[in-house]
Structure 1
């Protein structure tokens, strides 16, 4: 792929991803595997799925009280943020976020939409800033049609398609990061994100937010959060002994685990370029859920209400619609619509179909069988013939928001945006799903009587397509579609989503103390009380010598900490041992592999162009041939010495890593895993585990160790008496016996964790501090980008000219107040 970093190319030329091993290991026989329709068959009775189920937290028996609904305008944000919206997908995935971006602009935010390069003009015409992240959506569509689910078929693995897809993901991850701190590609105006909105397939979201210490908010068109109400849209469940609601809930975790198996190593390698530590294998699949990242789902609650167990940070707000376009149809389309009954729309948008001619023939047979009029959208597959006629019109490009007002029914692939648009105008719908969530939407449409059962495209034929269209033209389907459209008229999905976004921001911590409409990104190092400054305010104060640059340090608005949680001492210590052993084996192999690669990479003999021509003036007594031989010998010697030095250096570095991994594993990782596992044991029998905060550096590590020791010792010994008493109060003599067992186990585990943690947690904290000191490149780049934006705002914008005097006046007033109060 052009423009790909050489190191990334080397990464993706290696072995196929781990899911190849999963399928070869028997997942296709007894565990999850991909079906022809693209969904993942999840057999919960299989041994592998039963094992995975133990790692996935089960839901509470009783759901929490439902969160109050979010309404447009009930959350006011008067802080003007730099917001980057990261979207991976087709035009249908991008379009809803354009509507969202325009709504955010109405609140004074600066909005940048980061997506594939091919959508540049589409985004810019909407008035949003655009940032290219790479990736080819048409190539993604071709790949997804061949591999409809998240996990690819073995044929794709053997054909090398997976390496290409992983390389594309790596390119898009880098593009997403650059979209957070890169200057505007057109105007050159500096930009550093204050908040991130993303759809889950962009994958970079949480990690970019962690590097910047800013809020992140997920928005998506299909369910991605675990619920008992319905299974994951990409999972086809099979079970006999599992309760259906639990099976639905577990399906989300299994799909996440399989996704992480394919891309976890790519994401962790990219995280290293941001100076972030790798995400543990056990934490990657459930990262958003563990961190309680806010989610807003953009489908109509009248079509599918919010599940009752979803917490307050998850909202269902309605479909995202753009304003109706000011569109004038071409003459031939206008004439076709006027000269007959309303046609049926048939189109598959961004889907790339291998045999477009055969699909066109199939559609025409169904249309002519029914004797109806039809508009066939050519789409990315270039469906249709050269010319239209009185019965069929071939459409190149036309806004659905305009067109769907003039048709009788719609047939499409089931993209969420196209589905929403059809329902918005009360059109009965036939869905022909290809991959992803399309079958999910097809089943939902059928369950509400808004259309027939979905027809997977591989099963499509002229007869079942004709039957499906005939169903859509029935009065009952038309009436059901009009009823849903009436309910959707009362919703304002985009406005409600913006209110949801604002509600989940830490607004109380984001505000600059001098310019209250600007977000704070700096703080004073030495101040009696917190004093936060925006980019512009900081630049003004430094430029006018009210503060020194050294007085300021970056302000973390929303710190994200990814913890490697342990569930018990046995699995915790075992996983730490496996991780340490894996690192040692890998670095030991590199002792021999890296020198070999260096010798392969650097030629032993210089090329002809490297040989200097002899100079008779300098060496008159040496012949031309002799001089050339002497120079060549010297160059060869230099080349060999250089290559040998590089090889020895690489080998020595790997040896050092091997020793480092051994001591880190033995002295830090395994004691820490054992301490954490022992500390977590009470959770296994229903007790709460005390939260002592996060270990971020040596200081927090020492504090954690002290709290854990105090709490472990006191609770461990007192539990011998309190647990039997509590048990007796609840269950009498039986409860006393249970309490005695809990108290004894608690004393053993809590006291052991307290003692072991005195060494493990401070050592872990020191390693964190060392990592922070030795990995500072990204922080320096963020700091410089924020300084550059502050200077740009002051020197080149109206906001800077107005804010300059305001900042100086308010700062001097605060200084006077502080001086008078101290005196």
Structure 2
């Protein structure tokens, strides 16, 4: 099958689909990934055909980190201002590929346009939740309220409110785009609820969030990308061998103007607690004026290789980083900036594997030192190991490929029967 996957966002939005594409390719399919252009080389490294989408997602990440924080309405405004000028070209590129695909797989920001083209060209589709939005379990409120004590009725209302806002914003944006370019699709943007009207894959672990209740929902566990042939540089090997396991620091795509202050607090906390550190620059471009012997400064490193050798991690709470740290069996101190990060930070803490998250506005050397001491305690490490064991049993992309193939087989059988 020619399987068209479309996503948009930072590495955390793209890497799960590279992992899925790698597994689809191994199963004999032809995966095609549409994502921001900066990930062209990343997809090519795994032999995945790539459709580059316009837009500087690093600029978007910086605005989210510094302006949106935990204010959902401001986040919606930032995404809308960013997406509208790019929307016509994004739609046209997706439309061209969808016309020749056998199956389309879409996620949060592409779910509406993906469903539109699945309907237009009569092809099968799957939606993907990288966080619990379309089919959340009854026990949680919408991710905009990650640590609320709402009762069941208010939790249901929170989801209904979020779904309504999302649906109408997608329809409004499509109308605006189609006025500029009527050729991008039919006059109306149809809507179908993932998990109930179209099949939905939950690409996150049941150790963090239990499954939803939709009849077409399948929870696979997080989509883990293995770097089986990666070899570390000699100086990194030497650093790891020269002392006790380090604390890994990575704020991923959070490109914040407060990076120098953040680096000062992290270095001071590591120094005061006597910890060695591996600091990844990330989109924040963390830098050192001088480099102590107990600090290794790095760019991208595969976490499936690195984290099992670490003592703990300090990170931003992205879905992928949160899952990878827990799967590696190490506690983490999460400093969540915006979007779904506060939700994942809170869910990871509720597992018992992590100390409480620290909002950026409340971050200090003293508070980070206290969190590090908690994370490095034997009790916290044992709880992290327990969660890791649970996550290791989940099959992730293997289960996702099986579900995709099974449903395709059932659809073909039904088509032959009705003929």
Q: What TM-score do you get using the length of structure 2 for normalisation?
A: 0.90
Cα distance in 1, alignment partners of residues 40 and 195 from structure 2: 34
Q: In structure 2, list runs of 5 or more residues that go unmatched.
A: none
1:132 aligns with 2:52: yes
Following superposition, the deviation at residue 199 of structure 1 comes to: 1.2
Following superposition, the deviation at residue 500 of structure 1 comes to: 2.2
- Could you tell me which residue of structure 2 aligns to residue 54 of structure 1? none
Following superposition, the deviation at residue 162 of structure 1 comes to: 5.0
* Counterpart mapping for 1:603-752 below 5 A: none
More helix by percentage: 1
Q: Is the 8 A contact 1:433 1:457 kept in 2?
A: yes
- Could you tell me which residue of structure 2 aligns to residue 296 of structure 1? 201
Cα distance in 1, alignment partners of residues 52 and 128 from structure 2: 20
- Could you tell me which residue of structure 2 aligns to residue 252 of structure 1? 159
Following superposition, the deviation at residue 510 of structure 1 comes to: 6.9
Cα distance in 1, alignment partners of residues 167 and 220 from structure 2: 28
Q: Which residue of 78, 84, 93 corresponds with 1:175?
A: 93
Following superposition, the deviation at residue 471 of structure 1 comes to: 1.0
1:147 aligns with 2:53: no
In structure 2, relative to structure 1, the CA distance for the partners of 1:429 and 1:193 (3 Å cut) is same
1:782-812: per-residue Cα shift (whole Å, max 9, x none)? xxxxxxxxxxxxxxxxxxxxxxxxxxxxxxx
Q: Is the 8 A contact 2:141 2:148 kept in 1?
A: no
Cα distance in 2, alignment partners of residues 291 and 487 from structure 1: 28
Q: Which residue of 400, 415, 420 corresponds with 2:323?
A: 420
Cα distance in 2, alignment partners of residues 273 and 132 from structure 1: 20
1:312 aligns with 2:230: no
Aligned to 1:135, the other structure's residue is in SS state coil
1:111 aligns with 2:31: yes
* Counterpart mapping for 1:201-600 below 5 A: 201-203=109-111, 204-224=113-133, 225-235=135-145, 244-270=151-177, 272-279=182-189, 287-289=192-194, 292-307=197-212, 310-505=213-408, 507-509=410-412, 530=419
- Could you tell me which residue of structure 2 aligns to residue 101 of structure 1? 21
- Could you tell me which residue of structure 2 aligns to residue 552 of structure 1? none
Q: What TM-score do you get using the length of structure 1 for normalisation?
A: 0.47
Q: In structure 1, list runs of 5 or more residues that go unmatched.
A: 1-80, 182-191, 514-528, 531-823
1:214-271: per-residue Cα shift (whole Å, max 9, x none)? 11101122101244221111236989xxx81122122122112223454432213445
Cα distance in 2, alignment partners of residues 266 and 254 from structure 1: 18
Cα distance in 2, alignment partners of residues 438 and 245 from structure 1: 23
Q: Which structure would you say has the larger RCO, counting Cα contacts within 8 Å and 6 or more residues apart?
A: 2
Cα distance in 2, alignment partners of residues 237 and 401 from structure 1: 29
Larger radius of gyration: 1
Following superposition, the deviation at residue 289 of structure 1 comes to: 4.6
Cα distance in 1, alignment partners of residues 283 and 319 from structure 2: 17
Aligned to 2:193, the other structure's residue is in SS state helix
Cα distance in 2, alignment partners of residues 510 and 194 from structure 1: 15
Cα distance in 1, alignment partners of residues 389 and 196 from structure 2: 37
1:197 aligns with 2:105: yes
Cα distance in 2, alignment partners of residues 151 and 410 from structure 1: 30
In structure 2, relative to structure 1, the CA distance for the partners of 1:457 and 1:175 (3 Å cut) is farther
Q: Is the 8 A contact 2:312 2:330 kept in 1?
A: yes
1:682-712: per-residue Cα shift (whole Å, max 9, x none)? xxxxxxxxxxxxxxxxxxxxxxxxxxxxxxx
Q: Is the 8 A contact 2:201 2:220 kept in 1?
A: yes
Following superposition, the deviation at residue 456 of structure 1 comes to: 1.4
Cα distance in 1, alignment partners of residues 214 and 341 from structure 2: 26
